[in-house]
Chain A
């Protein structure tokens, strides 16, 4: 039996690090049905990106699909399907789709855009040879001039040679993560996706390292000033 896939009200969804953000005086805002900490109490003034900036974007809608017909199903739904393993492509209206396996894809909406959530409703619990993969990943965004130094203290991969737009599966501070190098406001950035049960642990570790390098935890509003209301 399939039930209606209307997600629970946005207020019902919580980031896996909600408590940690709340303790930092998070100012919450609902955006496109999801909730973000847009600003934190101790954020430095101004709009500049600090030496290293760590931001929680776990409120973004996600969808995983897996199965022999997954690529075809996505393509039919208007998604530019990545041809190569670990390659990512933008979703129409924001967000991205990443090929995690031969028959497995991961979609995440951007701050703007709702393709992943639309497809999630459309898929329900699955279709013929297309199965829903429950993705409640924590999404952390790390950026700033010293973001490479943060990665160097937590992960044994040389990210200077990493290609933007290709996901890397690795361990960060001992936690299995999918990691996507990207650029935000001309700054090197890393998007980390991880099992939400590890999120509080990894967040705490990253915060310690980021702050030791002169960086800060920031709200989504600093990295995405045009965050829609």
Chain B
């Protein structure tokens, strides 16, 4: 059956663009602009989903994005709401939370067991025996729940945006439009957002039959679109408010982080349902949903309907439906006095029967409960209870509920607003708002259209005044004069039946009574015990009634009962939106491209990418690393050390400053010489090491570890301020390329490329020169980290590639090879050089690490000196030693961090290990209890698979202990 009506003024569908889609395997058609629910209803598909717990049939209910039981998935995306999901060609969706399809859902049997599933049943039923809980949990997860996540789906990258404005106006309904215009006219930059695809809010569906309202709407919209100070974003939800008006805006494409100077909340209200028997079945819906269906999508909601009303809006809805050809069988008005305005006469003139002081006791279902066939209307006693002896059955296929509203003010709560219950509108209204936050329109308890517009204008001017752009008289806020738009208690008990309060979680009235009987008399406790408001719609259609029920059970007022806390997000936000485009800054040396072109296996080293080793066809990783290391020992190798920290320390106090920073002495260091330095924190723990080269009397060049350089530089800056010394610090880390040419042939390779005299006398070990290398100005240092004759060459980053390739070219006759980080780690291990952060930890002091020799004698002060004076008096708990493993052995080798065990106790751990070395056997560095650390002592290490490996304490360095090769 086609329920689509002829074209209507203001409809959102584009009839020139037909759309074909599939729902539960059935091919259907709609129009661009339709959402899934409207397109289905147009085909009279009323069963659109199943409920969470009882798997009851559910259909279109609010059509405002809060229909938490009409949720679909398409195999890639999940938990999409039918009343929000635009249909597109090829859309192919299935309802979530069913077994065997929506129509034949096997789990609908659950409803028969409802007496065994009262609120909180799982708290009581499934905690013993404990061993069965996983089984229960698994079963419950299968029966109840939402869509399935497909972790195999490819990540969707979405932009992450920043935006700024003076005033954010949330809601482009009558109040929001008026507020935005008023503020913009005063010069404010206004961002106006609305979650719907079109602006206008209730003007689109509630006032569509009112020519004066539509003319006013058109005028405001024209002003908004023409105003340079207003940016209008539709299809955008203000998802959450955070400190200082930092607002998360979410649209279909992205999350925008908005920083506003002020915020105007003109978000209107959520229409609230009445609670009666079977108020959840397809065919029962909010009157606003019926109006939306009619006006926005041109779909006839029902053929014959009963409207249950408690305000003027219900009469407007009835008249709208009547005008569209829906037979209104009756208006059941909860108010004994009926409608006080002329709308009552209009309805009577239209031949609509008005039943004042009546409610609906039950929606009578048809077979299968996928539709309704009648409404059981019942007079109300003066106390609001049903006079059940006087039921009247009225045949109908739809019930429209218009009994009240709840303000959509979660955002205002999050921004610091507080609300109180006002009897004259029977809803919450602001009691206090922080500076810069404004609320207007229906959210502020103004329901008449002219009041909404006037209140929006007032709020816009208040925002302008707050931001110093308006100093005129601020208009008063119009007060609501008519009868309350909300009924104080639209809840009608039908003992033991399905009077639903929360459709998300399948909670009915009896659940609240039971919870209260069990002692849950506080709104926050009731929320957690019953889970009311904890479903996908977060209580937008249930919290208001839940508070009313609890207030009545407690005999308290709404204000005494309070409300629950509102938290972001307003609507569920896709994880891809939250993730956004991932920014993971990564550093690359100027030689990165060369390494990749030459087969380097790159590795992460902090923020840097470094070559781990260079692949060689037919060789394993370990073979490649060992070959690179051997080439350094036998010929010459070149490694990119551009990641090292490079800090210039200049000024008349430079040497004295370094004496404070490092443990060693520098004031008497000769120009052209470098020294090893160890830096500690105030507790004496080693935090850095490196070489300190004196380039001039007032100029030092300091290297630092790759991962620690940035922090160390900041520490130096901090101490420079504290010490008040005349020192200038320059961090040149990323601006200089650096490479270490190492091996017995390195002097010969470099000689042809530099103007420096490389003879041992002119440029001895631990010497430093400023020279040119391959035409680039360079700092060249004689270092021996890998234990061979070597030159560390630092040049401007832009010339790094040229210098590197020049060295490789010059080294070709000498069998030069690049070597990577792993070969360097092996070579320095053979040489017994520690790596701060690997061979030390957050507690290691120089005495443990065997670098106490780097502490200057009789220094009056350096950072950590006082702590080290104390530590020095104490016996060592551990000591860094070398370990040697037999060349021919069986069983696994330990890995870094494996524990050393002695007589069942942990006595140490491996800090570095090389499974193969140029020495022909595995070696390691380890912390070990000092009494076990004598050279030649045997130790046992527990390997990762639980077995043990034996090693022998060895003297360090393992290689070239006299240092002859590096001189």
A contact residues vs B (CB 8 Å cutoff): 1-5, 7-9, 11-16, 18-19, 58, 64, 66-68, 103, 125-126, 129, 131, 133-137, 152-158, 160-161, 173-175, 195-198, 200-202, 205, 208-209, 212
Q: Which residues of B contact A135 (CB under 8 A)?
A: 735
Q: Do residues B162 and A152 form an inter-chain contact, with CB atoms below 8 A?
A: yes
Q: Do residues A155 and B732 form an inter-chain contact, with CB atoms below 8 A?
A: no
Q: Tell me how far the C-beta of A77 lies from the nearest C-beta in chain B, rounded to whole angstroms.
A: 19
Closest chain A residue to B650, Cβ basis = A131
Across the interface, B728 reaches (CB within 8 A) one of A131, A134, A157, namely A131
| Given known A67-B650, A197-B608, contact A3–B755 (CB-CB < 8 A) | yes
Measured as residues with beta carbon below 8 angstroms from the partner, the interface class of chain B is 35 or more
Q: Do residues A198 and B162 form an inter-chain contact, with CB atoms below 8 A?
A: no
Q: Do residues A2 and B770 form an inter-chain contact, with CB atoms below 8 A?
A: yes
Q: Do residues A197 and B588 form an inter-chain contact, with CB atoms below 8 A?
A: yes
| Given known A133-B730, A135-B735, A158-B259, contact A12–B777 (CB-CB < 8 A) | no
| Given known A3-B772, A12-B799, A131-B699, contact A153–B161 (CB-CB < 8 A) | yes
What are 8 A-B contacts with C-beta separation under 8 Å? A3-B771, A125-B770, A133-B730, A152-B161, A153-B161, A156-B257, A174-B583, A195-B733
Across the interface, A196 reaches (CB within 8 A) one of B648, B734, B775, namely B734
Q: Tell me how far the C-beta of A74 lies from the nearest C-beta in chain B, rounded to whole angstroms.
A: 15
Closest chain A residue to B737, Cβ basis = A136
The complex places the Cα of A14 from the Cα of B776 at a distance, in Å, of 13
The complex places the Cα of A157 from the Cα of B164 at a distance, in Å, of 9
Q: Do residues A1 and B769 form an inter-chain contact, with CB atoms below 8 A?
A: yes
Q: Which residues of B from 555 to 596 have beta carbons under 8 Å from A?
A: 581, 583-590, 592-593
Q: Which residues of A contact B651 (CB under 8 A)?
A: 67, 129, 131
Q: Do residues B587 and A12 form an inter-chain contact, with CB atoms below 8 A?
A: no
Sorted nearest first, the 5 A-B pairs with minimum C-beta distance are A12-B802, A195-B734, A158-B164, A197-B734, A197-B587
Closest chain A residue to B805, Cβ basis = A12
Q: Do residues B585 and A67 form an inter-chain contact, with CB atoms below 8 A?
A: no
The complex places the Cα of A152 from the Cα of B775 at a distance, in Å, of 42
Q: Do residues B802 and A14 form an inter-chain contact, with CB atoms below 8 A?
A: yes
Q: Which residues of B from 160 to 188 have beta carbons under 8 Å from A?
A: 160-164
The complex places the Cα of A161 from the Cα of B642 at a distance, in Å, of 38
Closest chain B residue to A4, Cβ basis = B772
Q: Do residues B650 and A134 form an inter-chain contact, with CB atoms below 8 A?
A: no
Across the interface, A153 reaches (CB within 8 A) one of B159, B586, B798, namely B159
Q: Indicate with 1 or 0, residue by residue over B772-806, a CB within 8 angstroms of chain A CB atoms.
A: 10111100000000000000000011111110000
Closest chain B residue to A201, Cβ basis = B586
| Given known A3-B755, A8-B799, A152-B163, contact A201–B730 (CB-CB < 8 A) | no
Q: Which residues of A contact B774 (CB under 8 A)?
A: 8, 12
Q: Tell me how far the C-beta of B488 lies from the nearest C-beta in chain A, rounded to whole angstroms.
A: 46
The complex places the Cα of A13 from the Cα of B589 at a distance, in Å, of 14
Q: Which residues of B from 718 to 737 have beta carbons under 8 Å from A?
A: 726, 728, 730, 732-736
Count A-B contacts at CB 8 Å. Answer: 144
Q: Tell me how far the C-beta of A124 lies from the nearest C-beta in chain B, rounded to whole angstroms.
A: 9
B672 contacts partner chain A, Cβ-Cβ < 8 Å = yes
Across the interface, A201 reaches (CB within 8 A) one of B585, B696, B736, namely B585
The complex places the Cα of A175 from the Cα of B590 at a distance, in Å, of 17
Q: Which residues of B contact A67 (CB under 8 A)?
A: 650-651, 728
Q: Indicate with 1 or 0, residue by residue over B697-741, a CB within 8 angstroms of chain A CB atoms.
A: 001000000000000000000000000001010101111100000
Across the interface, B583 reaches (CB within 8 A) one of A8, A157, A161, A205, namely A205
B331 contacts partner chain A, Cβ-Cβ < 8 Å = no
Q: Indicate with 1 or 0, residue by residue over B912-944, a CB within 8 angstroms of chain A CB atoms.
A: 000000000000000000000000000000000
The complex places the Cα of A7 from the Cα of B799 at a distance, in Å, of 9
The complex places the Cα of A18 from the Cα of B735 at a distance, in Å, of 16
The complex places the Cα of A152 from the Cα of B798 at a distance, in Å, of 30
B contact residues vs A (CB 8 Å cutoff): 159-164, 257, 259, 581, 583-590, 592-593, 608, 642, 648, 650-651, 672, 695-696, 699, 726, 728, 730, 732-736, 755, 769-772, 774-777, 796-802
Q: Do residues B770 and A195 form an inter-chain contact, with CB atoms below 8 A?
A: no
Across the interface, A200 reaches (CB within 8 A) one of B159, B592, B770, B776, namely B592
Q: Do residues A8 and B672 form an inter-chain contact, with CB atoms below 8 A?
A: no
Q: Do residues B589 and A197 form an inter-chain contact, with CB atoms below 8 A?
A: yes
Q: Do residues A198 and B732 form an inter-chain contact, with CB atoms below 8 A?
A: no
Q: Which residues of B contact A136 (CB under 8 A)?
A: 734-736, 796-798
Q: Do residues B695 and A13 form an inter-chain contact, with CB atoms below 8 A?
A: no
Most chain B beta-carbon contacts within 10 A, residue among A5, A66, A131, A134? A134
Q: Do residues B775 and A12 form an inter-chain contact, with CB atoms below 8 A?
A: yes
| Given known A3-B777, A5-B777, A66-B730, contact A131–B798 (CB-CB < 8 A) | no
Most chain B beta-carbon contacts within 10 A, residue among A12, A14, A160? A12
Q: Which residues of B contact A66 (CB under 8 A)?
A: 728, 730
Most chain B beta-carbon contacts within 10 A, residue among A15, A137, A152? A152
Q: Tell me how far the C-beta of A47 lies from the nearest C-beta in chain B, rounded to whole angstroms.
A: 29
Most chain A beta-carbon contacts within 10 A, residue among B699, B728, B769? B728
The complex places the Cα of A5 from the Cα of B736 at a distance, in Å, of 16
Q: Tell me how far the C-beta of A194 lies from the nearest C-beta in chain B, rounded to whole angstroms.
A: 9
Q: Tell me how far the C-beta of A149 lies from the nearest C-beta in chain B, rounded to whole angstroms.
A: 8
| Given known A19-B593, A66-B730, contact A155–B162 (CB-CB < 8 A) | yes
Closest chain B residue to A149, Cβ basis = B161
Closest chain B residue to A158, Cβ basis = B164
Across the interface, A9 reaches (CB within 8 A) one of B584, B586, B593, B775, namely B775
The complex places the Cα of A126 from the Cα of B159 at a distance, in Å, of 45
Q: Tell me how far the C-beta of A154 lies from the nearest C-beta in chain B, rounded to whole angstroms.
A: 8
The complex places the Cα of A14 from the Cα of B594 at a distance, in Å, of 12
The complex places the Cα of A205 from the Cα of B772 at a distance, in Å, of 36
The complex places the Cα of A194 from the Cα of B903 at a distance, in Å, of 56
The complex places the Cα of A201 from the Cα of B587 at a distance, in Å, of 7
The complex places the Cα of A8 from the Cα of B799 at a distance, in Å, of 8
The complex places the Cα of A136 from the Cα of B769 at a distance, in Å, of 21
Q: Do residues B159 and A212 form an inter-chain contact, with CB atoms below 8 A?
A: yes
Across the interface, B593 reaches (CB within 8 A) one of A1, A18, A134, A209, namely A18
Q: Do residues A196 and B770 form an inter-chain contact, with CB atoms below 8 A?
A: no
Q: Do residues A195 and B735 form an inter-chain contact, with CB atoms below 8 A?
A: yes
Q: Which residues of B contact A103 (CB under 8 A)?
A: 728
The complex places the Cα of A194 from the Cα of B755 at a distance, in Å, of 32
| Given known A197-B588, A201-B587, contact A8–B732 (CB-CB < 8 A) | no
Q: Do residues A137 and B162 form an inter-chain contact, with CB atoms below 8 A?
A: no
Q: Tell me how far the C-beta of A111 lies from the nearest C-beta in chain B, rounded to whole angstroms.
A: 17
Q: Tell me how far the C-beta of A23 lies from the nearest C-beta in chain B, rounded to whole angstroms.
A: 10
| Given known A12-B774, A200-B588, contact A131–B593 (CB-CB < 8 A) | no
The complex places the Cα of A209 from the Cα of B164 at a distance, in Å, of 19
The complex places the Cα of A125 from the Cα of B608 at a distance, in Å, of 28
Q: Which residues of B contact A152 (CB under 8 A)?
A: 161-163
Q: Which residues of B contact A68 (CB under 8 A)?
A: 726, 728
Q: Do residues B585 and A175 form an inter-chain contact, with CB atoms below 8 A?
A: yes
Q: A13-B802, A133-B732, A198-B587 known; 13 other A-B pairs, CB under 8 Å?
A: A14-B800, A16-B590, A16-B797, A66-B730, A133-B730, A135-B735, A136-B736, A152-B161, A152-B162, A153-B161, A156-B257, A197-B587, A202-B585
Q: Tell me how far the C-beta of B168 lies from the nearest C-beta in chain A, rounded to whole angstroms.
A: 14
Q: Tell me how far the C-beta of B431 lies from the nearest C-beta in chain A, rounded to whole angstroms.
A: 33
Q: Tell me how far the C-beta of B437 lies from the nearest C-beta in chain A, rounded to whole angstroms.
A: 21
Q: Tell me how far the C-beta of A209 lies from the nearest C-beta in chain B, rounded to whole angstroms.
A: 7
Closest chain B residue to A58, Cβ basis = B798
The complex places the Cα of A212 from the Cα of B581 at a distance, in Å, of 12
Q: Tell me how far the C-beta of B643 lies from the nearest C-beta in chain A, rounded to whole angstroms.
A: 8
Q: Tell me how far the C-beta of B802 lies from the nearest C-beta in chain A, rounded to whole angstroms.
A: 4
Q: Do residues B730 and A134 form an inter-chain contact, with CB atoms below 8 A?
A: yes
Across the interface, A8 reaches (CB within 8 A) one of B163, B590, B775, namely B775
Closest chain B residue to A196, Cβ basis = B797
Q: Which residues of B contact A157 (CB under 8 A)?
A: 162
Q: Tell me how far the C-beta of A86 lies from the nearest C-beta in chain B, rounded to whole angstroms.
A: 19
The complex places the Cα of A127 from the Cα of B797 at a distance, in Å, of 23
Across the interface, B584 reaches (CB within 8 A) one of A18, A58, A174, namely A174
Q: Which residues of A contact B798 (CB under 8 A)?
A: 13-16, 58, 136, 196
The complex places the Cα of A21 from the Cα of B871 at a distance, in Å, of 56
Q: Which residues of A contact B257 (CB under 8 A)?
A: 156
